[in-house]
Structure 1
Amino acid sequence: MHRSEDRILTTHVGSLPRNEVLSDLLIRQELGEPVDEAELARQSEAAVRHVVRAQSDCGVDIVNDGEQPRVGFQTYVAQRMTGFGGESARPRPRDYVDFPSLLAQHRQRFPRRSKVSNAPQAIAAVSYDDLSAAEEECRMFGAALASLDTPPADAFMTAASPGIVATTMLNAHYDSHEAYVFALAREMRKEYQRIARDYVLQIDAPDLAMERSVLFHDKSVAEFIAIAEMHVAALNEALAGIPRERVRLHCCWGNYDGPHIHDVPLAEVLPVLTQARVGALSVEFANPRHQHEYAALKRIGLPPEFLLLPGVIDSTTNYVEHPEVIANRICEAVDAVGDRSRVIASSDCGFGTFAGSELVAEDVVWAKLRSCRDGAAIATRRLWGRD
């Protein structure tokens, strides 16, 4: 991961839509139903090749494997580690409590999807003893990259933060939430190190913002910030030894098209996010609830060791943002950071965070990424005075 001195690069947050066959296999596997493992492996590999080539065709500079072999951006962890079982009773987001018709609508829209609120819980000491699934995912991604005619500028792979695992797959074993989070950090460290060996590592950490209105909705902002700081301390322990420039951190307020009226402001969490020993920060700025957050970023400032990956395309709507709109957003991000070389245009969040619950149609996703490329080209001409 590097600064670009001659143009604005593009990337995205990570997950991309899966095809129906692969989604069905992943959901059935998660439910414990019998599946053809060889067919699942074939479908996963084909899907990784498809999304890698599609990203390349769209002009994405920094690509990934789209999380195709994973049932969910963080719930995949329960399939790779031991110590999980049963079901968590995760609280509903406050948006669903305040707007029950929204909950009913979302249930109708996604009648069959992977587990979210009812994911397994920690029923014993968690342990990551078998890295074979992570190894295989890295291999598939590498093979897909090797098949491209032109290599991308860089490649990344995602992994769940200890905090989002702990707040999704709840604790029914450890003496405290903190003990659970640090136990997860010690074990997830193995996956982080494996990914960082070959690719830029992206840590997905919506727990550092979203959980203010979910698991910790009954806490004050000050109490939530203290919890988030503990989550970052655990993450830093897990990242020890991995160079900062090999890690990017994604934080968001939940990837769904809801009111988001209880979202904690960026100004409250930004000082926590910058405590993470990472080299780049990925944050939502495109959706209607957070388009104003550049003001907080400009006021507080981003430490010089951080790149910014601003969301300039929304991951919850099928509108394809106009390239001029995207260019405006990129220029606003550059103005907030104060350095054009430290901004990489991205999406707000993933486009396929859970199997079976994609909000944006696949062909629209590619159109959005092409528009992001075109918007980055316009911003480049403006920022480098090439008009």
Structure 2
Amino acid sequence: MSILLPTSTAGSLPKPSWLAEPETIWSAWRLEGEALIEGKQDALRVWLHEQQQAGIDIVSDGEQTRQHFVTTFIEHLDGVDFTQRETVKIRDRYDASVPTVVGAVSRKNPVFVDDAKFLRQNTTQPIKWALPGPMTMVDTLYDAHYKSREQLAWEFAVILNQEARELEAAGVDIIQFDEPSFNVFFDEVNDWGIAALERAVEGLNCETAVHICYGYGIKANTDWKKTLGSEWRQYEEVFPKLQQSSLDIISLECQNSHVPIDLLELIRGKKIMLGAIDVATNTIETPEEVAATLRKALQFVDVDKLYPSTNCGMAPLAREVARGKLNALSAGAEIIRRELKA
């Protein structure tokens, strides 16, 4: 990126009320058929405009084209039965009714490529597209076929690589893999999780990112955070191996969290998409609060490798709150840019 401190969002942005119930994650579509396709495109245009108005440098679709950041991708795969559901514990935190892997998983057709092409046609800015990571996909299913988390992850990695190569060909500049599971299953991450993710990015020339956060501001996540003590050191378990990986960008959470900022030293050399906006509160940060978080990070991140971002997605927030937070992110980054030029 030629611009210093390029800003972006980690993931979702609120859906307009005519597309899905607002301020709710994973809410059902309010449209069907051709109207739904058009509605998703209209919502994408709305949030592209909002990002541009706020001065966001690396834009996305705000996940307007997806109902859920994992299962919308899985819905398009063979080998998974959405009518045969089981209750599993997601990321060791909360029970959820999930679809079942009943046979070999495969991808017959591209999933998000047409949506990415539409975004590309509507902007000349760098664009980022998010996909679920292999481990988080495994953790969002009941596996009655492979009966091996690792084997299923490798199968998903191959499928994700197919999708990622086509997204790159469609003009995507950064492909981000969402892996909140990396903050929970440390032994598996180091044994095979990062290796599976590297298989997913194999052969890509665009930039690749992995997003590891503490989740949306839902009760199961906020309750879990209360058990983590005064310092959140989960990143310490996975950063050393990620620092050695082929991933270009590590996306993580810092604003209003208890992550010790010096853990960033463990991934020095990587580009850091730093969460400087808290998505678990309706309080809009001031530009100076954003700038203060970025200043702390610059002690451990080279200035040309710092990408100010949000902690996670903002789907559960009101549109005006998300809009305010985007403006604060942009203004906070501009404060630091001016300081660096002074």
Question: Normalised by the size of structure 2, how large is the TM-score?
Answer: 0.89
Equivalence for 1:134: 112
Moved more, 75-84 or 53-62: 75-84
Q: Comparing both structures, which one devotes a greater share of its residues to helix?
A: 1
Q: In structure 1, give the amino acid aligned to 2:335.
A: I
The answer to whether the Cα contact below 8 Å between 1:235 and 1:276 also exists between their aligned partners in 2 is no
Equivalence for 1:221: none
Equivalence for 1:364: 321
The change in CA–CA distance for 1:172 and 1:275 in structure 2 (over 3 A counts) is farther
Q: In structure 2, give the amino acid aligned to 1:320.
A: I
**Deviation at residue 139 of structure 1 after TM alignment:** 2.5
Q: Distance in 2 between matches of 1:160 and 1:275?
A: 21
Give the counterpart of 2:290 among 323, 326, 343. Answer: 326
Equivalence for 1:296: 263
Q: Percent identity?
A: 25
Alignment partner of 1:14 is 2:48: no
Alignment partner of 1:204 is 2:178: yes
Give the counterpart of 2:88 among 71, 77, 90. Answer: 90
Give the counterpart of 2:212 among 231, 245, 251. Answer: 251
Equivalence for 1:311: 275
Equivalence for 2:187: 225
The answer to whether the Cα contact below 8 Å between 2:207 and 2:249 also exists between their aligned partners in 1 is no
The answer to whether the Cα contact below 8 Å between 1:3 and 1:342 also exists between their aligned partners in 2 is no
Equivalence for 1:266: 235
Q: In structure 2, give the amino acid aligned to 1:91.
A: K
Q: Distance in 1 between matches of 2:190 and 2:69?
A: 19
Equivalence for 1:44: 40
**Deviation at residue 246 of structure 1 after TM alignment:** 1.6
Q: Distance in 1 between matches of 2:180 and 2:244?
A: 15
Q: Distance in 1 between matches of 2:207 and 2:14?
A: 26
* 1:68-147 alignment, distance < 5 Å: 68-85=64-81, 86-91=84-89, 117-131=96-110, 133-145=111-123
The answer to whether the Cα contact below 8 Å between 1:204 and 1:250 also exists between their aligned partners in 2 is yes
Q: How many residues align?
A: 327
Equivalence for 2:134: 162
- In structure 1, list runs of 5 or more residues that go unmatched: 97-115, 146-150, 217-223, 353-357
Q: In structure 1, give the amino acid aligned to 2:117.
A: R
1:17-45 CA deviation, whole Å, 9 max, x = no partner? Answer: 11233226x8557xxxx963111111011
Q: Distance in 1 between matches of 2:202 and 2:321?
A: 39
The change in CA–CA distance for 1:27 and 1:52 in structure 2 (over 3 A counts) is same
Equivalence for 1:277: 246
Structure possessing the higher relative contact order (Cα contacts under 8 Å, 6 or more residues apart): 1
Give the counterpart of 1:235 among 183, 190, 197. Answer: 197
1:104-162 CA deviation, whole Å, 9 max, x = no partner? Answer: xxxxxxxxxxxx8223121111111111x4232122212332xxxxx43x111111111
1:66-96 CA deviation, whole Å, 9 max, x = no partner? Answer: 1111111111122211111122422166666
Q: Report the RMSD for the aligned CA atoms in angstroms.
A: 2.3
Equivalence for 1:113: none
**Deviation at residue 264 of structure 1 after TM alignment:** 5.5
Q: Comparing both structures, which one devotes a greater share of its residues to strand?
A: 2
The answer to whether the Cα contact below 8 Å between 1:225 and 1:269 also exists between their aligned partners in 2 is no
Q: Distance in 2 between matches of 1:232 and 1:294?
A: 22
- In structure 2, list runs of 5 or more residues that go unmatched: none
Alignment partner of 1:379 is 2:336: yes
Q: Distance in 2 between matches of 1:328 and 1:225?
A: 34
Q: In structure 1, give the amino acid aligned to 2:313.
A: G
